Amino acid sequence: MTADPPAATPARGLLALERMRTRPEFLRAARARTVRTPGFVLQGRDRGDGDAVHVGFTCSKKVGNAVARNRAKRRLREVARLELPDHGRAGWDYVLIGRRDETAARDFATLRADLIEALTRLHP
């Protein structure tokens, strides 16, 4: 008896997301454009290669202890996973920076709206 194939999930976007992991990648993004929203700060940089979207996440100790920082980063990762394939641009680096008392406590739907608004302001 063969197992049924997994149900096809609808394609969200055509952009592949790759994680930024090295300090030089984050520093290059920090020298580029910045958009501040109530829930987080978004930094964006056009790499010019038209390849996948690179995304990184960071929270300073000002956000709170390790538990608070990890919770804020988890929320940022999920927002990016849901919205960047549809609203991001290929060949761009994005860094989402958590904000103290906001990123972890803000309503999730509002965080998603913040990212969409930040991306539209970043890409005139």
What's the rounded mean pLDDT across residues 7-15? 51
Please, which pLDDT band fits residue 13 given cuts at 50, 70 and 90? Answer: low
CA distance 67 to 73: 10
**Whether the Cβ atoms of residue 62 and residue 120 lie closer than 8 Å to each other:** no
Q: What is the mean pLDDT of the chain?
A: 87
Under 8 Å between Cβ of 89 and 120: no
Rounded to two decimals, what is the model's pTM? Answer: 0.84
Which fold, 17-122? Ribosomal Protein S5; domain 2 (3.30.230)
Mean pLDDT of 33-54: 91
* 115 three-state secondary structure: helix
pLDDT digits (tens, 9 = 90+) for 46-84: 988 878 899 999 999 999 999 999 999 999 999 999 999
